[in-house]
Chain A
Amino acid sequence: MSVDWQPGCSLQMLHLRAKMLQNIRKFFAERSVLEVETPLLGSAIGTDPQLDFFTTTFQWSPMQQKLFLQTSPEFAMKRLLASGSGSIYQICKAFRNGESGRFHNPEFTMLEWYRVGYSLPELMSEIDELMMQLFDGIKSFQPAEKITYQAVFKSYTNLDPIAFSYEDYAAYARNHGISEAITICGQDQSAWLDFIFSHHIQPHLGWDSICLIYGYPACFSSLARVNAENSAITDRVELFIQGVELGNGYYELGDFKEQSSRFDREIAARKASERPDIVKDNKLLAALEAGLPDCSGIAIGLDRVLMLLSESASIDEVLSFSISRA
């Protein structure tokens, strides 16, 4: 019997990954950002309506406790920030159930960092600096392209993502050979934006320079603050290089009441789409109530960064053992 036991990536890739991790640690050490660790197993989990999680059971006879493998270290890191840690970063595994494909593995490596006192534009500059450093000698990018979600959406489709009109979107779908979008998305603005952005906009982003999209429509607020001047948009940023989505960041929401009602809304949305029921993370809410310093933070998928650094076509090629080999 022949068993395929070997890694999916080359030995050279192991070295490239180690080098990337070294570069990242050097980058943050020079900026006095503290490296931290938080648990992968948590008693609570994010309520994001589009994320599925893994659960496990802690056996401590006669007790049993349901634990969640974290979809991101965000909540625990915010508790550190609220306790006065100052700027922090973490490189850890994150787990997302039901995700597997050319750019997805259910277990992946994430870099997440928070900058106390940083506005979103300041964080965006630092993202650009880190990417320039990682891609140094591999690709030479022009200075970062920073463009609002509305501007980039309009420039590729002529559609307004903020003043959403179902008729305009349905007409666009019919004229561009994606009429199935009408059935899939219906009246759901977020679904329409996800569909058209991922199909017709994202592939064009970040070829000559790294691309930072900011000013997301308020329906994509997640854990970001609503913009102080325009309540129709949210202070969220996403990073794209060569058509690949690499990161997602926020000017972090600190208002615990607002956070709590967003959790309630997301839990209701999860119920409506028949996703597993969860309770909100009261420890995070208590930390926010105690006071989260003003900060901006972002999470970046490092396996995808490695795919771009090595020009790999699939995430399997940069992981030692992807899910099919694990």
Chain B
Amino acid sequence: MAVYSTNEFKAGLKVMLDNDPCAIIENEFVKPGKGQAFNRVKIRNLKTGRVIERTFKSGESLEGADVVDVDMQYLYNDGEYRHFMQPETFEQYQADEKIVGEAAKWLRDQDSCTVTLWNDAPLAVVPANFVELEIVETDPGVRGDTSGGGGKPAKLATGAVVRVPLFVQTGEVIKVDTRTGEYISRVKE
């Protein structure tokens, strides 16, 4: 794997730090006029999601991390692992609940998502920004209310619970923004 010097650190670069794969968020060159040069780096640990600050002496280097984001199709859950497939190669990957994390509540069989691979093994799963899911359970709304004010919780086919307007009913399909968990609209089949 390539080695990157502090001058090459930029947002998005994947490097190894303390034996974990990390992504650089921000890199600031700090140098007192006549003093020692440092790079103050904001970095995300891709395993834990935690963001830390770390200072390097300018010119220090870190090993690159073999981390790639791959578009995949979510196949099924066997109870222990969730299975994904790369549509072009048909290559399959499995990931446990710890890796899938929050993404699990948005994943419907056959939907596409992004799987981050580290050394060819899943590291994280990110659902599509927008998903369309069926409501399996919600209180019946007040008849005639079309204003959308207020709202009520609705359970979706994948288990996620989102707030929806009062007029939306069980059995309907809705569009949700997975980044915020917010209801966007009804989807007419």
A-to-B contact residues, CB < 8 Å: 48, 50-51, 98-104, 177-178, 180-181, 184, 190-191, 193-195, 197-199, 220, 222, 238, 245, 248, 301
Contact = CB atoms under 8 A, between A and B. Distances in A.
A104 B34 contact: no
B32 A245 contact: yes
Contact of A190 (B33, B36, B38, B57): B36
Given A178-B55, A180-B56, A199-B40, A194 B29 contact: no
A191 B29 CA distance: 16
B31 A99 contact: yes
B47 interface: no
B14 to A, nearest CB: 20
Contact-residue bracket for chain B: 10 to 19
Contacts of A181: 55
Interface of B: 7, 28-38, 40, 53-58
Contacts of A180: 54-56
A178 B28 CA distance: 16
A190 B29 contact: no
A184 to B, nearest CB: 5
Contacts of B7: 100
Contact of A102 (B29, B37, B38): B29
B36 A222 contact: no
Contacts of B38: 184, 194-195, 198
Contacts of A98: 37, 58
11 contacts: A50-B31, A98-B37, A99-B29, A99-B31, A101-B28, A178-B55, A180-B55, A180-B56, A184-B38, A184-B57, A191-B36
A101 B40 CA distance: 11
Contact of A104 (B29, B40, B57): B29
A320 B55 CA distance: 31
Contacts of A101: 28-31
B37 A50 contact: yes
Contacts of B40: 199
B32 A102 contact: no
A194 B40 CA distance: 13
Contacts of A197: 32
A69 B30 CA distance: 23
Nearest to A101: B29
| Smallest CB-CB A-B distances: 9 pairs | A101-B29, A194-B35, A194-B36, A184-B57, A248-B33, A191-B36, A198-B30, A194-B32, A198-B32
B34 A51 contact: yes
Nearest to B59: A98
Contacts of B35: 50, 190, 193-194, 198, 220
A64 to B, nearest CB: 31
A197 B28 CA distance: 16
Contacts of B32: 194, 197-198, 245
B22 to A, nearest CB: 14
B4 to A, nearest CB: 16
A177 B53 CA distance: 9
A245 B33 contact: yes
A99 B39 CA distance: 11
Contact of B34 (A50, A178, A199): A50
Contacts of B55: 178, 180-181, 184, 195, 199
A98 B32 CA distance: 14
B37 to A, nearest CB: 7
A197 to B, nearest CB: 7
B24 to A, nearest CB: 14
A199 B54 CA distance: 11
A180 B7 CA distance: 18
A193 to B, nearest CB: 8
Contacts of B56: 180, 184
B27 to A, nearest CB: 8
A64 B36 CA distance: 34
A101 B36 CA distance: 15
Contacts of B57: 184
A194 to B, nearest CB: 4
A248 B29 contact: no
A190 B37 CA distance: 12
Contacts of B29: 99-104
Contacts of A104: 29, 31
Contacts of A194: 32, 35-36, 38
Q: Which of B31, B38, B56, B57 has the most CB of A within 10 A?
A: B31
A50 B33 CA distance: 9
Contacts of B34: 48, 50-51, 220, 222, 248
A198 B40 CA distance: 10
B39 to A, nearest CB: 8
Contacts of A51: 34
